[in-house]
Amino acid sequence: MKINCIAIDDEPLALQQISGYIQKTPFLNLIASCKSAFEAMEILSKESVDLMFLDIQMPDLTGIEFVKAWKEGPKIIFSTAYEQYALDGFKADALDYILKPFGYEEFLKAAGKAKSYFDLLEKASHKPNFADNYIFVKSEYKLRKIFLKDIIYVEGVREYVKIVVNDDKPIMSLMSMKSFEEKLPTSHFMRVHRSFIVNLDYVNIIERGRIIFGSVYIPVSEQYKETFQQFLETGSNKNG
């Protein structure tokens, strides 16, 4: 897998250097070199970009301001001559931070972190069977490994999913219920409500159309009643 990148820096020599480093690195693919955040916005509106090498101190719109304005943008590796901006960079969910002046060794180290991140995402995106036994989700700026057997149920909470697991506190991840559902093997997990997915292995008590997990009552909506009833009668998910 090649990571599609853009380089953004208002200093021509710095932009030339980092663009050259990207082209030199086998697992990176340079989509464009941009002299400003505004040039980058135009590229992002047209191209599929995974990663930005982004200068922080730029006129008109700084790298930090750009990231805040383009919230759903690619992952970021910041570059700057000012060490005091490191904390701001990591608050913006950057994968890494390269302090100018830097050589190819420092660049490659940061790029390697990006490669590890995207390799994990690619692995997590493949729908597992239960034998694979775990998935990765992003939570609190980290990738968390979750064993499928430990998931009791999943609840949609606005733009997040809350993953309730055995013997640990719930895990919050910024993603849709649909995208999370696609990661789960249907032989063991079932959508029973717009806001709930349950692990069928934990379904032991049903009362008045609700699944009971301790003090939690999960409703089975009309849309999913037929499929859930099939599970109760046969012990398997007909969609699995």
Domain 130-234 adopts which CATH fold? OB fold (Dihydrolipoamide Acetyltransferase, E2P) (2.40.50)
- Reported confidence tier of residue 125, pLDDT bands at 50, 70, 90: low
> How high is the pLDDT of residue 173?
92
Domain residues of the chain, as ranges?
A: 3-125, 130-234
Q: Could you write out the DSSP letters of every residue in 55-123?
A: ES--SSS-HHHHHHHSTT--EEEEEES-GGGHHHHHHTT-SEEEESS--HHHHHHHHHHHHHHHHHHHH
pTM given for the model: 0.53
CATH number 3.40.50.2300 is the correct assignment for the domain at 3-125:
yes
Average pLDDT of the chain to the nearest whole number: 85
Measured CA to CA, the distance from residue 61 to residue 83 in angstroms comes to: 19
Q: How confident is the model at residue 83 (pLDDT cuts 50, 70, 90)?
A: low
pLDDT of 126 above 60: no
What pLDDT digit, counting tens, does each position of 182-229 carry? 888 888 899 999 999 999 989 998 988 899 988 899 999 998 888 888
3-state secondary structure at position 17: helix
Specify the range with the lowest mean pLDDT, choosing from 36-45, 116-125, 176-185: 116-125
Determine the distance from the C-alpha atom of residue 23 to the mean position of all C-alpha atoms in its chain, rounded to a whole number: 26
The bridge status of strand 160-165 relative to strand 171-174 is: antiparallel
